[in-house]
Structure 1
C-alpha cells in the first residue's frame, strides 16, 4: 500500500496542471513499444528514404577505406528481405580470403560469441543462473591455493559466485590471462620488474604463441586477485568468466563446449557459416597480412572464438525475437533484461548484453533500449543488436589492416549508432501508418451513448481525442475521479490522454492501457529541481492499472481484430462497454 500512497500523491499533485515534458515532447510513455511494430516496413516511403540516406552516409564514410571491409544488415522479423544490406570491399585485401564482401562473408565476431555461451547455459533447463558455479566446476575452489594469501584481498570467494554473476560480469573476477605482457618481450623499459622465469606464463595464442589451455587456467588463474566482491554495484567485464561458463556447460553435458553450441544452437538455426574455429580462408575477409584471423583462444573459446556472417547473426537474432531457441517467450523476455548498472547513465549490463538507453533515436524523443553485444579482436570489430520495440535485428562487422589505422572498434559502434539514428525514424513512421489503419478512428456504441476517437500526432502511441462513456466526458471529468467521489464540473483545461499497447495479446485480441499526462513545464521543472533523480515525475510505470471499478481497470482497453489484423471493436473494460469501429482515419478525412 505504501507505493499506492506515494504514486497517488504524485499523480494528485501533477493532475492539477496541464502537461508538458520537454524531454519527451510532452509525454511519458511506458518503456517498450508504443505502437505495434510494423510488419511491412519495406513498403513504406519513409523507410525507403531513410535507408537511402544511410547508404549514402556509409558510402561517404567508406570512401576513406583502402584496407578495411564493412558488412551491415538490418532486418525486421516480419519480412523476408533486409531493410538495410550494406557491404564494402576495399581495394587492398589478402589473397587468402574472400575478394568480395557481402552478407555471407565470414568475419571474426570476437566477444559477440558470449551470447552463445549464455544461451548454452539457459538451454540446460535443470541448471539455474542462481546456482553457485562450484556446483558444476568444483575445481575453482582449489584456485585459492595459488593465491598470494588466503584472504578477501587475494582470493576469489568462488562459493559465492553464481552462473548468473559470471554471465552478467558481476562475479568480480579478473578479466583474463591471455593478454598478459610477459610472453611477448621485455617490458622493463615501461617500469615493470624483470620476469621471474620460473613463473613465466608462456602462452597466449596471439602472435604465434601457444594457446593457454584448460590445464594452464587451473594452474595459474588463482594468482589473479579479485577485482570486486560478487554482485558489487559496478560490473567488471571478464573474459575469464565466460571460459568458466564453458567449463560448466561441459561438466553438465559431458560434451565439449564447441560441439554443444554447434549442435544445439547453430545447427537447428541453419547457421551454416558460423564456426567455433577458423574456417576455410576463402570464406572470410582477411586484411592484408593479417595474423588475427588465425589467432586461437584456447580455454577462452566461450569468450570470443566464433566466426560468423551478417546473414547467420541476423538469423540468430530473428530466432531470439521469435522465441525459436528452445526458450519460452517468458524466458526470452527474462533474458532481455538488465542485471547491473555501469558508470555510464546510458549503459546497463545484461547477460551478456550491453544495453544502450537512448532518447535521440525516435521522433518523439522517448527512451528506447538497444540490446547489444560488441566484439573486438585487434583487427576484427563487430556489434550485434536487437531493438525489441520494433522487432529489428542489426549486425555490423568491420575489419581492417591494423597498420592502416582505418577500421577501429569504435567504427562498428558508430556505424550501429548511425544506422539506428538514420533508419529508425523511417521504421517508426511505417509503424504509425500501419497502426493508424489497424486501430485509428472512431468507435461507438449508440445504445449507451459511448464513443472513443483515436488519432495520430507527433507523440507516441495514440492520442485519445474523445472519450465518452454513457454520455459522460471521461477526459473532462477526470480530475473529479478519486476513491472518495467528489463530482466537479467539466474543466475547460482537461488532461490529455494517450493509449499504448501492452505485451498481452492473443491471436485476435490485443490489450492496451491509457495514460494521462501530468504537469505544465514550469511546475515539473520546479519540482524536478528539488529531486535528485532525473525525470522523477515520469511515473507511468506506477500509474498503470491504478483505478479499478468492480476490480476491472479503468485504463484497460481490449481490441478485437479481424483476419487482416484490423480492429473491429474495443472493450472499455472498467466501464463494461464495447464499442464498434465506425470510421477509420481515411474515412474521417473524407
Structure 2
C-alpha cells in the first residue's frame, strides 16, 4: 500500500540522492508564481525606486555611446502603460534613418523572427510538431545525394527529423549556409586552403552579394554534414532549421509563410511597424554607414529577417501571455515549455525559446524562468523575454557598430539581465503588497472552532502561521498523520507549511495548494551535502495532492473573492470546512 507522500517519505527519498540546496530556508515551492502577479506594479514604491536605479545604470552606460542606439520596454499585461520605457539616441547616426529613438523606432530583430514561423505552424489544424518534416518536404531526402559519403557521418537522417525537432534545435543539422566566409576575402592566413572557385557559393544577401534562394539551398545544403543525430542530448542551434520550417508551412498550406504571418499574426495585433522585408529607411535606426540594415537572408527569411519595434513586440508578448496570439490557453501553456536541454544548467530550449532559469534575483531565492528569444545580425541585437510568473514582457533592441568602436559593452542580453536584476525585486515586493491586501490575515469559523492565519515574510508564498480545524492544531499534529495515525506527535516539530497559488481559477475563486517542509534548513543542508543532483530534495512536484480524506486533498484551499477582488472566505477542501475572512484583514 502506498503511504501518503509527506515528511517521512521526503526524508527517505533524500537519503538516496545527492545535491546542494539553494532555496531560502529550505523551502521548495512549485515551479511558477508563488503569489499572484501584481496588477498595479508601476505605482508600487519599490518598483518606482528600482526603475529609477535601472534608468541611472543605463544613463551611465550609454553616455559613452557615440554610434549605438538602445530601446527598452518592460510592461505588465495588467497595466495600460509601461513599467519602464527607455531610449537612447547616439550623437552619430546615419541620415537615412530616424534621428530620435523611441518605442516606435524600427530595428532589425534578427533571430527573434524565429518565434513567428513556429507560431504559424502551431496554428495549423491537422499539422503537428510531431510530424516528420519529410511528410511536407520530401525533397530533403535528395540532399544526401550531395554528401561526401553515404554514411551517418556525412548524411542527415531526414526521415527521423520532426517539425518540433527543427523548432527546438534538436534536428542536429548544420547551423547555416549563407554565412560562409569564402566570398569575403582571403582566409589562407588563418590556415584555410585556397578557395576552390568551382565550389564558391556566390550568395549571402549581404555586402553586395545576392541572397541565397530556395533553389540554392536544395542544390548545396546537402554538402553540410550533420552535427548530431536527431534528438541527441544537446541542442544544436540551426538557422537552416527555421528555413525548412518555412518550406514545410508553405507545402502544408499552399500559402506564403510571409503572407500568413503578416495577415494572420501581425495585423490582428496591430503590429503595424513590423515587417518581413526592409521598411522605408525613415522608420528605422541605421548606424552610420551601416550595410546590415539592407541585408537579406533569402531562403532563411523565417530565421532572422524581420524588423520590429518595442511597441509591436510588447503587444505580441502581451497577446501570448493573455492567450490571444491565436492559440488556446492550453496550447499557449504547452508552447511555453522546454523541449530540450543544453550543457548549461541554467538554459533550456523550447520552440524556439531560450529558457533561462535564475535563482539569484528574488528575496526568496526560488527558481524563476524567463522565456526568451535573442537575435543578432552583426550590427543589430534584440532580446524578447516573457516572465510568466509576473505577467511581464521585456524587450531590448540595440543597434550599433562592431563592439570595438564603442567605449563599453553593448549587448542586448546584458541589458535584459540588468533589467531583470534591477527591477524584479521591486516587482516581487509589489506582488507581496497586493497579495497581503487580497489574501492575508485571519480566517475563522466559530461554529467549528476552526481558524487559519496567513502572513508574508521573505520566504516564498504565504506562511501558514496558525491552522486550527475543529479545535485540532493541524501543524502540531501533522507529524503523526499517516495510514496508522499517531495522535501523539514529537515534542518539537520543525514542520512549516507554505501556501501557493495554482493555475486553476475562475472569475471569483482561486485554487491554492499547501506544501509541508518537515525539516529545518540545517537538516536539509546536511542531507543535500550528501546527495548528487542539485536540489535533490526539492520534490514538491511529487508531493502535491497526495494526502486525501474521502478523496479530497488535504492540501487544497479554495478562496472566494468579493466584487472588489479581495478574498472573503477560504474553503479547506479536505477538512470540509469554510472560514470567513475577518474584516480587519481586508
Root-mean-square deviation (Å): 1.9
Q: 3-state SS of the aligned residue for 2:58? A: helix
| Contact in 1 for aligned 2:7/2:518 (Cα 8 Å) | no
Q: Does 1:108 align with 2:108?
A: yes
**In the alignment, what sits opposite 2:178?**
178
Query: How does the TM-score come out when normalised to structure 1?
Result: 0.96
**In the alignment, what sits opposite 2:27?**
27
Shift of 1:4: 7.2
Query: How does the TM-score come out when normalised to structure 2?
Result: 0.96
Shift in alpha-carbon separation, 1:407–1:348, aligned structure 2, 3 A? farther
Q: Does 1:519 align with 2:536?
A: no
| Contact in 2 for aligned 1:50/1:423 (Cα 8 Å) | yes
**In the alignment, what sits opposite 1:465?**
465
Q: 3-state SS of the aligned residue for 1:151? A: coil
**In the alignment, what sits opposite 1:436?**
436
| Contact in 2 for aligned 1:569/1:581 (Cα 8 Å) | yes
Aligned mates of 1:51, 1:36 — CA distance in 2: 21
Shift in alpha-carbon separation, 1:564–1:196, aligned structure 2, 3 A? same
| Contact in 1 for aligned 2:500/2:512 (Cα 8 Å) | yes
| Contact in 2 for aligned 1:558/1:570 (Cα 8 Å) | yes
**In the alignment, what sits opposite 1:536?**
536
Aligned mates of 1:115, 1:187 — CA distance in 2: 35
Aligned mates of 1:396, 1:359 — CA distance in 2: 22
The range that moved more, 532-541 or 78-87, is: 532-541
Aligned mates of 1:198, 1:232 — CA distance in 2: 34
**In the alignment, what sits opposite 2:385?**
385
Shift in alpha-carbon separation, 1:53–1:425, aligned structure 2, 3 A? same
Correspondences of 1:144-293 after superposition (within 5 Å): 144-293=144-293
Aligned mates of 2:473, 2:187 — CA distance in 1: 78
Q: Does 1:503 align with 2:475?
A: no
Aligned mates of 1:12, 1:168 — CA distance in 2: 37
Shift of 1:150: 1.5
Q: Comparing both chains, which one has the higher relative contact order based on Cα–Cα distances under 8 Å and sequence gaps of 6 or more?
A: 2
Aligned mates of 1:293, 1:434 — CA distance in 2: 45
Aligned mates of 2:436, 2:465 — CA distance in 1: 14
| Contact in 2 for aligned 1:376/1:409 (Cα 8 Å) | no
Q: Does 1:488 align with 2:492?
A: no
| Contact in 2 for aligned 1:130/1:164 (Cα 8 Å) | yes
Residue-pair matches, total: 582
Q: 3-state SS of the aligned residue for 1:268? A: helix
Q: 3-state SS of the aligned residue for 2:411? A: helix
Gaps of 5+ in 1: none
| Contact in 2 for aligned 1:141/1:158 (Cα 8 Å) | yes
For residues 410-439 of structure 1, what are the alpha-carbon distances to aligned partners after superposition, in whole Å with 9 as ceiling and x for unaligned? 621111011011111111111111111110
Aligned mates of 1:196, 1:444 — CA distance in 2: 83
**In the alignment, what sits opposite 1:450?**
450
Shift of 1:249: 1.1
| Contact in 2 for aligned 1:276/1:307 (Cα 8 Å) | yes
| Contact in 1 for aligned 2:156/2:173 (Cα 8 Å) | yes
Shift in alpha-carbon separation, 1:408–1:252, aligned structure 2, 3 A? farther
For residues 306-344 of structure 1, what are the alpha-carbon distances to aligned partners after superposition, in whole Å with 9 as ceiling and x for unaligned? 000000000000000000012110100000011111111
**In the alignment, what sits opposite 2:71?**
71
Aligned mates of 2:563, 2:416 — CA distance in 1: 36
Aligned mates of 1:102, 1:36 — CA distance in 2: 31
